[in-house]
Amino acid sequence: MAKPEGGTAVLEKEPPSLKVKVLERRGCAAALAVTVPAGEVADAVEEAFSEIQKRVKLPGFRPGKAPLEMVRQSYHGSAVEHGINNVLRDSVHHALEREKIIPLDTPSVDKVEYKEGQALRYEVRVECSPEIVLKNYKGLSLIRKASPVGDAHVDERLDSLRESNAKLAPSTEATVSSTHFVLVDYDATFEGKPVEGGTARDQLVEMSAPQSLAGFNDALQGMKKDETKDVPLLFPDDHPNKTLAGKAVSFKVVVKDIKEKRLPAADDEFAKDLGLGSLAQLKERLRTGLETEQARREREDLEHQVIDGLLNLHPFDVPASLVERRAVELTERMKTFLLSRGASEAEWAKNEPSMKEKNRTEAERQVRLSYLLVEIAQKEGIQASDADVDAAVAKSVKEAAAEKAEDVRKWLEERRESLRAQVKEEKIFSFLIEKAQVTEEPAA
């Protein structure tokens, strides 16, 4: 398909006699048949001749001084082509504007028919935004899954905090058990020769953790401090070292120390170590944190319900180009995540087509949702003011660590418009939740 080329504007105003017929208006595709009267086309060609005359140099004449008739003879084809391109560009714009079609990309023009002295006819096809009719977005049925924070939740979080502040100390027990941390040295040999990379000193083994080599932790059970033991272990068939895969390797293991985890007592001293005045203050801090987390989870769940509700009520088509672009973005984000977690480029290349296909469904949902949120915001007059953005910046700065507060402020100010879009979206969801029919249910 041809695309209208640039050039000097000719049709500054829509020709009153421009004829436009809608051939197709389905989903996000539109096709129009356009007829430009012969007179407008002739005027555009004449304008093209005048433009050529101003810059062309013909033998015997200074630039721009050649007679128009000589220009017509020498540049007839160029002038007609230039004039037609100008008419195409301007009339395409007017035709789309008349039908209230906003193109997402450069319109494509084909089936161009023109004979000198006659009208210009062509068809224009374009991908456009969908026509959206909002319905029932106020009064969505939502379920708030309430889960009040109780003393048991606070105690559980306190135990987790004690666990993370635990220290290892020499065990009072004489032999290794499944609850211990064992400090070991070992040397691995195969057929009497040292195994490359098979030596370790002061290796700390958590007995309750999954075994990196089947049977190693089991062999430590019951050993005493300073005891030495020869442990034969069978390497798996898929071991990276093909020489050792599926073979028995001998480990000479020395238990150097047996340690156990000691949790700090849940008392005022523990709270003071964490910068608080008492255990009661620590528990209150934990309760506030849990309530904040619960409120965030409830809000996220309500937003997901709003999204599902809106999408179920509005099953319209969205532009394929936007879906494709969003699918690529989601796939690239997934690629970055997986590679950062150790996946290889080869593994990714193998799975990329299927990943992209899976992401296309989510991309379609996201594009459709974005159209809906824009339409709702426009209808309800929802905006994010400078004061709203200032408040969001202040909130983030307040929540940041004191030494990082200024960096957070600077970072957010540099991304102020992105933050404005985020704040606006939050206001749209708040509006929809406020107008919804919310039923309270206890969380499972």
Kindly report, residue by residue over 327-368, the tens digit of the pLDDT: 999 999 999 998 888 888 888 888 888 888 899 999 999 999
Q: Is the pLDDT of residue 9 over 50?
A: no
Give buried/exposed letters for 11-34 (b at 16+ CB in 10 A, else e): beeebeebebeeeeeeebebbbeb
Do 36 and 21 meet the contact criterion of CB atoms below 8 Å apart?
A: no
Average pLDDT over residues 245-267: 94
d(CA 438, CA 428): 16
100: left (phi over 0), alpha (psi -120 to 50) or beta: left
Average pLDDT over residues 299-309: 97
pLDDT of residue 16: 59
Q: Is the pLDDT of residue 73 over 80?
A: no
At residue 64 the predicted structure's pLDDT band, cuts being 50, 70 and 90, is low
pLDDT of residue 384: 96
The two structure tokens encoding residue 344: 């290889």
The residue among 257, 249, 135, 89 whose CA lies nearest residue 185 is: 257
pLDDT of residue 68: 64
d(CA 17, CA 419): 47
User: How does pLDDT run across 379-418, given as a tens digit for each residue?
Assistant: 999 999 999 999 999 999 998 888 899 999 999 999 999 9
d(CA 69, CA 65): 12
Q: Is the pLDDT of residue 317 over 80?
A: yes
Do 368 and 314 meet the contact criterion of CB atoms below 8 Å apart?
A: yes
Looking at domain 19-127, its CATH class is: alpha beta
The two structure tokens encoding residue 139: 């009064």
What average pLDDT does the structure give for the chain? Answer: 89
User: How does pLDDT run across 115-145, given as a tens digit for each residue?
Assistant: 888 999 999 999 998 889 999 999 999 999 9
Q: Is the pLDDT of residue 11 over 60?
A: no
The answer to whether the pTM exceeds 0.75 is: no
Residue 253's contacts (CB-CB under 8 Å, 6 or more residues apart) are 184, 185, 186, 219, 220, 223, 228, 229, 230, 231
Helices 416-434 and 345-380, packing angle to 10 deg? 60
Q: In CATH, which of 1.10.540, 3.90.1720, 1.20.1260, 1.10.3120 is domain 270-442? A: 1.10.3120
Average pLDDT over residues 33-61: 81
At residue 5 the predicted structure's pLDDT band, cuts being 50, 70 and 90, is very low
- How do beta strands 437-442 and 141-146 pair? parallel
Q: Is the pLDDT of residue 4 over 60?
A: no
Q: Is the pLDDT of residue 45 over 80?
A: yes
Distances (CA, A) of 368 to 115, 131, 141, 322, 440: 44, 12, 20, 10, 29
d(CA 84, CA 109): 12
Residues across the chain: 444
Cβ of 127: how many Cβ atoms within 10 Å?
18
Q: CA triplet 49, 52, 55: central angle to 5 degrees?
A: 150
Q: Which residue has the higher pLDDT, 211 or 4?
A: 211
The CA-based diameter of the chain, rounded to the nearest angstrom, is 114
High-pLDDT (> 90) share of the chain, %: 65
Name which of 80-84, 155-159, 318-322 the model is least confident about: 80-84
pLDDT of residue 6: 40
pLDDT of residue 183: 96
High-pLDDT (> 70) share of the chain, %: 91
Domain boundaries, the chain: 19-127, 167-262, 270-442
At residue 7 the predicted structure's pLDDT band, cuts being 50, 70 and 90, is very low
Do 41 and 146 meet the contact criterion of CB atoms below 8 Å apart?
A: no
Do 20 and 34 meet the contact criterion of CB atoms below 8 Å apart?
A: yes
User: How does pLDDT run across 151-192, given as a tens digit for each residue?
Assistant: 999 999 999 999 999 999 999 999 999 999 999 999 999 998
Give the domain 167-262 fold. Answer: Chitinase A; domain 3 (3.10.50)
The residue among 184, 190, 221 whose CA lies nearest residue 205 is: 184
Cβ of 271: how many Cβ atoms within 10 Å?
20
